[in-house]
């Protein structure tokens, strides 16, 4: 999958994948630990950004 065709997730979808609450997901976005984009006021997170976040957390814990 190329970055141009990357799957974009809504915040509730990210919440489900990370098993986190809405405020925590927005905190991660605000602190730039989780990459996101805005499309006409709608916040979207590339699926790859969620995977990168998870991998980064695993590396930090190791």
Write down the pTM of the prediction. 0.85
Long-range contacts of 27-35 (CB under 8 A, 24+ apart): 28/53
Average pLDDT value for the chain: 93
Residue 15 burial class via C-beta count within 10 angstroms: exposed 0-12, middle 13-18, buried 19 and up? middle
Residues 40 and 54: their CA atoms lie apart, in Å, by: 27
Domain 7-61 has CATH 1.10.1660: yes
Residue 6: pLDDT band (50, 70, 90) is confident
Tens-place pLDDT, residues 21-50: 999 999 999 999 999 999 999 999 999 999
* CB distance 14 to 50 below 8 Å: yes
Q: Which residue has the tokens 């999958």?
A: 1
């Amino acid at each position: 999958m190329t970055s141009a065709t990357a799957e974009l997730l809504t915040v509730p979808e990210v919440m489900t994948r990370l098993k986190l609450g809405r405020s925590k997901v927005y905190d991660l976005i605000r602190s730039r630990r989780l990459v996101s984009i805005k499309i006409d006021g709608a916040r979207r997170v590339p699926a790859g950004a969620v995977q990168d976040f998870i991998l980064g957390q695993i590396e930090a814990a190791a």
